[in-house]
């Protein structure tokens, strides 16, 4: 919706870039506004901006109405009267947060509630996979854990679908993803909120979350055995360097590998308490190179194809600030297509560029 600068509130999410005189945005699309951003809007004399109808905390944004003229400018979403992805996603994160707090107080995991929470989101993303590229945009450092669970669920389900699993398996993967870190509810809140790297003893406590998570869900009949195994095994690695059991190769279930790589990908692309987020396509390159041998190659390739294989005509933003259109993707170079630069018409082969990469897929 379009609002005046003075109507913008902390927690609002930008629907479009705020541009100045240069080629790079002053404040990029999907940014969650804070006090500093409000000051920047004032400094650059930005009079109007487009924000989402839902704020980052899942609440409905209600700007102060000073005239009927302003009211008429509060447009509906592009989807019309139906709920947009963000209007479903953000309240789902807040509902998950409530459940997590319940687990911290000792309540049992309500698997039916998790299913009710996640399946509508999966259906929306199945219809428009571009939403995958914005999963890392909405979380803040304080609520990262709750966004992470919901995002890993969506990524796991979509990756399972990409790998050819049936609908029932995809739904179970969604549950494995959202419950993978349920055992973190048994970790000390001091550790969960710590803003510095963990000590060895603190990390040892965190590593117990896979075992504790399995204990929390092992008796429920609503989860398949492979789903429970994924919650236990999602930090295992193909080369035996993972935990809790240092399993190797085929002893790590496919579900475990899918949830594991979704967990790594979302963590690396998100803002966390003591780590900054990395651009999606840079992370995909890092996973394909630096994590070689940690995951089954078919799972790695599945992730690259899911997120890196962009359709011809997709508009992307590059690390040099320019926008371009994907015109061709070479085999085995999913994350580095040939792009036609909008401003100059130049064809840029990203597979031959070490310094330039895709930073954003423009919806």
Domains of the chain: 2-72 (3.90.105), 85-307 (1.10.3210.10), 310-361 (2.30.30)
Q: What digits encode the pLDDT tens for the residues 35-80? A: 888 888 887 778 888 988 888 887 888 876 543 334 344 333 344 4
| Whether the Cβ atoms of residue 304 and residue 288 lie closer than 8 Å to each other | yes
Q: What digits encode the pLDDT tens for the residues 318-351? A: 999 899 999 998 877 888 899 999 989 999 999 8
Residue 172's pLDDT is what? 97
Q: Which of 25-29, 63-67, 143-147, 267-271 has the lowest mean pLDDT?
A: 63-67
| Whether the Cβ atoms of residue 335 and residue 281 lie closer than 8 Å to each other | yes
Residue 82's pLDDT is what? 54
Residue 171's pLDDT is what? 96
Q: What number is the average pLDDT over the span 99-120? A: 95
pTM of the model: 0.79
Q: What digits encode the pLDDT tens for the residues 129-141? A: 989 988 888 877 8
Residue 158's pLDDT is what? 98
Q: What number is the average pLDDT over the span 217-233? A: 97
Q: Which of 59-68, 217-226, 307-316 has the lowest mean pLDDT?
A: 59-68
Helix runs in the chain, H state only: 35-43, 68-72, 85-104, 111-127, 144-162, 167-179, 189-192, 200-207, 209-217, 225-233, 254-268, 280-290, 297-308
State what percent of residues in the chain have pLDDT above 90: 55
Residue 23 vs residues 18, 138, 322, 324, 361: alpha-carbon distances, Å? 11, 24, 7, 13, 16
Name the CA dihedral angle for 141, 146, 150, 152, rounded to a multiple of 10 degrees: 60
Residue 73's pLDDT is what? 41
Q: What number is the average pLDDT over the span 69-94? A: 62
pLDDT band at residue 235, thresholds of 50, 70 and 90?
A: very high
For the cut 60, the answer to whether the pLDDT of residue 227 exceeds it is yes
User: What are the structure tokens assigned to 256, written together?
Assistant: 């475990």
How many residues can be counted in the chain? 363
- B/e letters for 303-327, b = 16+ CB within 10 Å, e = fewer, are bbebbbebeeebebbbbeebebbbe
98/117 Cα distance (integer angstroms) = 12
Which sign does the torsion angle of CA 7, 8, 11, 12 carry? positive
Q: What digits encode the pLDDT tens for the residues 159-206? A: 999 999 999 999 999 999 999 999 999 999 999 988 888 999 999 999
State what percent of residues in the chain have pLDDT above 70: 93
Residue 363's pLDDT is what? 65
Q: What number is the average pLDDT over the span 285-300? A: 88
Q: Which of 57-61, 98-102, 156-160 has the lowest mean pLDDT?
A: 57-61
Residue 21's pLDDT is what? 62
Average pLDDT over the chain, rounded to an integer: 88
């Amino acid at each position: 919706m379009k609002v005046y600068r003075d109507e913008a509130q902390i927690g609002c999410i930008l629907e479009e870039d705020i541009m100045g005189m240069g080629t790079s945005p002053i404040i990029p699309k999907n940014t969650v506004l804070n006090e500093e951003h409000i000051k920047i809007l004032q400094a650059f004399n930005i009079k109007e901006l487009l924000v989402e109808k839902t704020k980052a905390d899942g609440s409905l944004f209600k700007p102060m109405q000073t005239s009927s003229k302003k009211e008429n400018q509060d447009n509906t979403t592009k989807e019309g009267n139906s709920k947009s992805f963000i209007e479903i996603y953000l309240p789902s994160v807040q509902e998950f947060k409530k459940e997590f707090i319940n687990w911290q107080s000792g309540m049992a995991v309500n698997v039916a509630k998790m299913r009710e929470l996640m399946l509508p989101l999966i259906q929306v993303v199945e219809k428009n996979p571009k939403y995958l590229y914005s999963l890392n945009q909405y979380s803040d450092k304080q609520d990262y854990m709750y966004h992470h669970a919901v995002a890993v669920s969506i990524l796991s389900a979509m990756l399972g679908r990409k790998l050819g699993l049936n609908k029932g398996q995809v739904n179970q993967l969604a549950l494995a993803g959202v419950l993978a870190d349920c055992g973190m509810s048994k970790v000390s809140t001091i550790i969960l909120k710590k803003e510095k790297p963990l000590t060895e003893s603190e990390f040892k406590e965190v590593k117990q979350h896979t075992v504790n998570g399995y204990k929390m869900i092992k008796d429920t009949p609503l989860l398949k055995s492979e789903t429970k195994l994924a919650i236990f095994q999602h930090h295992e690695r193909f080369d035996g360097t993972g935990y809790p059991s240092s399993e190797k190769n085929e002893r790590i279930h496919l579900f475990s590998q899918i949830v594991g790589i979704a967990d790594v990908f979302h963590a690396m692309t998100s803002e966390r308490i003591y780590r900054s987020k990395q651009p999606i396509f840079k992370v995909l390159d890092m996973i394909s190179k630096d994590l070689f041998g940690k995951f089954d190659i078919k799972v790695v390739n599945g992730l690259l194809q899911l997120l890196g294989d962009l359709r011809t005509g997709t508009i992307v933003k590059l690390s040099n600030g320019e926008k371009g259109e994907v015109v061709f993707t070479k085999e085995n170079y999913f994350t580095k297509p040939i792009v036609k630069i909008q401003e100059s018409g130049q064809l840029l082969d990203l597979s031959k560029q070490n310094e330039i990469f895709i930073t954003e897929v423009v919806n």
